[in-house]
Structure 1
Amino acid sequence: MANYPPSAEEIASLIQRYDRIVVTSHINPDGDAIGACGVVSYILKALGKRFIIYNATGIPYHLEWVPLPTKVITKLMDIPFKPELFIILDCGDIWRLGRELSSCLLEYQSINIDHHIGNPNFGTLANWVEPKAAATGQLVAAIAEVIGIPLTGELAQCLYLSIVTDTGSFAYSNTSPGVLHLAAKLIELGLNPSPIREQLDNQWPLAKFHLWGKLMQKIQLEYDGQIAISAVTLKTITDFGATKEDLEGFTEQIRKIKGVRVAALVREDPGESCKVSLRSSGTDNVQAVAIQFGGGGHFNAAGATIHEPIETAVKQILEAIQKITFSTTDVD
Structure 2
Amino acid sequence: MNVGDEKVFSEQREKFAQVAALIDTATEIVICAHTNPDGDALGSGLALAQLISQHWEGKHVTNLLADNDPVPRLYRFLPGADSFVRASSYEGDPDLFIIVDLSVASRLNQAQAVLERSAHVAILDHHPSTMPFGDVALIRPDAAAAGVIIAEFALAMGATITPDIANCLFCAIVTDTGRFQYQNADSEAFECASMLVDAGASPSLISLNVYQSFRLAYLHLESVVMGRIVTFEHGRIAYSYATRKDLERTGALPDECDGLIDVVRSVEGSELALFLKETPDGLIRGNLRSKGDHDISGVARAFGGGGHKAASGFTTDMGIDATLAAVLPLMRAVLAAGPGESPAPIARQLSLNIDREA
Q: Provide the residue aligned with 1:68 in structure 2.
A: 80
The offset of 1:92, in angstroms, is 3.8
* 1:145 and 2:145 matched: no
- Larger fraction in helix: 2
Q: Provide the residue aligned with 1:185 in structure 2.
A: 195
Secondary structure of the equivalent of 1:230?
strand
Greater relative contact order (Cα < 8 A, sep 6+): 1
The offset of 1:105, in angstroms, is 2.0
Superposition RMSD in Å: 2.1
Checking the alignment, whether the CA contact within 8 Å between 1:231 and 1:266 is kept in structure 2 is yes
The CA distance in 2 between the partners of 1:328 and 1:202, in whole Å, is: 37
1:39 pairs with one of 47, 52, 57: 47
Checking the alignment, whether the CA contact within 8 Å between 1:289 and 1:321 is kept in structure 2 is yes
The CA distance in 1 between the partners of 2:242 and 2:336, in whole Å, is: 25
Q: Provide the residue aligned with 2:330 in structure 1.
A: 320
The offset of 1:307, in angstroms, is 3.0
Unpaired runs of at least 5, structure 1: none
Matches within 5 A, 1:297-308: 297-308=307-318
Q: Percent identical across equivalent pairs? A: 29
Aligned-partner residue type, residue 36 of structure 1: S
The CA distance in 1 between the partners of 2:327 and 2:266, in whole Å, is: 19
The CA distance in 2 between the partners of 1:231 and 1:76, in whole Å, is: 30
Unpaired runs of at least 5, structure 2: 1-10, 340-358
Q: State which drifts further: 105-114 or 67-76.
A: 67-76
Secondary structure of the equivalent of 2:25?
coil
The offset of 1:31, in angstroms, is 0.8
Q: State which drifts further: 17-26 or 105-114.
A: 105-114
Checking the alignment, whether the CA contact within 8 Å between 2:33 and 2:41 is kept in structure 1 is yes
Count of residues in Structure 1 that have an aligned counterpart in Structure 2: 323
2:100 pairs with one of 68, 79, 89: 89
Q: Provide the residue aligned with 2:38 in structure 1.
A: 30
* 1:244 and 2:254 matched: yes
Q: Provide the residue aligned with 1:117 in structure 2.
A: 128
The CA distance in 1 between the partners of 2:248 and 2:40, in whole Å, is: 28
Return closer, same or farther for 1:272/1:67 CA change in 2, 3 Å cut-off: closer
The CA distance in 2 between the partners of 1:151 and 1:110, in whole Å, is: 24
Q: TM-score, normalised by structure 2?
A: 0.85
The offset of 1:276, in angstroms, is 1.0
The CA distance in 2 between the partners of 1:241 and 1:211, in whole Å, is: 8
Checking the alignment, whether the CA contact within 8 Å between 2:226 and 2:263 is kept in structure 1 is no
Q: Provide the residue aligned with 2:27 in structure 1.
A: 19
The offset of 1:7, in angstroms, is 2.1
Matches within 5 A, 1:176-255: 176-255=186-265
Q: Deviations over 1:62-89 (max 9, x none)?
A: 101000276111134345x542111110
Secondary structure of the equivalent of 1:266?
strand
Return closer, same or farther for 1:280/1:152 CA change in 2, 3 Å cut-off: same
The offset of 1:163, in angstroms, is 1.0
Aligned-partner residue type, residue 110 of structure 1: V
The offset of 1:103, in angstroms, is 4.0
1:107 pairs with one of 107, 117, 125: 117
The CA distance in 2 between the partners of 1:218 and 1:211, in whole Å, is: 11
Checking the alignment, whether the CA contact within 8 Å between 1:8 and 1:142 is kept in structure 2 is no
The offset of 1:149, in angstroms, is 1.1
